[in-house]
Amino acid sequence: MMGVSQPTISRAVCALTALTGQALEGWLLTAQEIDPRQSYVLDGTPLPCWAWKDHNGLYSGKHRRTGLSLQVLVTLDGRLVWAADPLPGSAHDVRALDVSGLLEVLDPATIIADKGYIGRGLITPPKKTSNTQRSELDKEHARDINKIRYVVERLIAHLKNCRILATSYRPPHHTHKEIITATLSLFTYATN
């Protein structure tokens, strides 16, 4: 197209991605930079990608496709604060949280999450057990938590407007972290 080869375009994209990441460094906080006095909302989302033969674990049985698992942390007003390094799509939300090191920095009682994080001390809706009815108090508690959690669901929906996060990721597998971090930093810069 316009006399430019695909390898030239790929090199330009790599160079611009690196420059974007460097220019926006600091907009997406690391776990150690997060203010532990605030409350946050946490959720995970799958990012679709190609299936590489030499990278096992990308297939998510829950989502029935290959991809990456991304954990995001937002403030109660819906601002993206932190994102974990993407893990293979087969990683459960709890495993991704444990690997991220977030709970070493933040008190779990200050994080609101969904039922996928039960057992880590986070504020989650009560889980329904088999052969029992949930009480009205449990149902009301779950509704109250979900009224707060909508901010992270809305942010994830906005993130999926970035085409690179919503469609199958095609660049080489080793570039995942750099491109996703640059995209999230750019999103954070644009929305703050």
Give domain limits for the chain. 6-191
* Predicted pLDDT of residue 39: 93
Q: For residues 85 and 175, what is the distance between their CA atoms, to the nearest angstrom?
A: 12
- Helices then strands, counting H and E runs in the chain, come out as 5, 6
The predicted pLDDT at position 187 comes to 83
Which helix (H) or strand (E) segment holds residue 9: the answer is: helix 6-23
Record the pTM. 0.80
Q: Going residue by residue through the chain (192 aa), what tens digit of pLDDT does each one get?
A: 577 887 888 788 778 888 888 888 878 788 888 888 999 999 988 877 766 666 666 656 565 666 788 899 999 998 999 888 887 766 778 888 888 888 888 899 999 998 888 888 899 888 777 777 888 888 888 889 888 999 999 998 888 887 777 777 666 667 777 888 888 888 888 887
* Residue 96: per-residue pLDDT: 83
Residue 50: what pLDDT?
63
DSSP 8-state assignment for residue 169: B
Q: How high is the pLDDT of residue 101?
A: 84
Question: Which DSSP letter does residue 127 get?
Answer: P
- Kindly compute the dihedral angle of the four CA atoms of residues 27, 22, 51, 9, in this order, to the nearest 10 degrees: 130
User: What is the pLDDT, as a whole number, of residue 112?
Assistant: 93
pLDDT for res 90: 67
Task: Characterize 111-149 residue by residue with b for buried, 16 or more Cβ atoms within 10 angstroms of its Cβ, and e for exposed.
Answer: bbbbebbeebebbbbeeeeeeeeeeeeeeebbeebeeeb
Residue among 29, 63, 28 nearest 46 (CA) = 63
**Are the C-beta atoms of 80 and 50 separated by less than 8 Å?**
no
pLDDT for residue 151: 92
Query: Buried b vs exposed e over 151-189: b needs ≥16 C-beta within 10 Å?
Result: bbbebbeebeeeeebeeebebeeeebeebbbbbbbbbbe
Q: How far is Cα of residue 191 from the mean position of the Cα atoms in its chain? A: 17
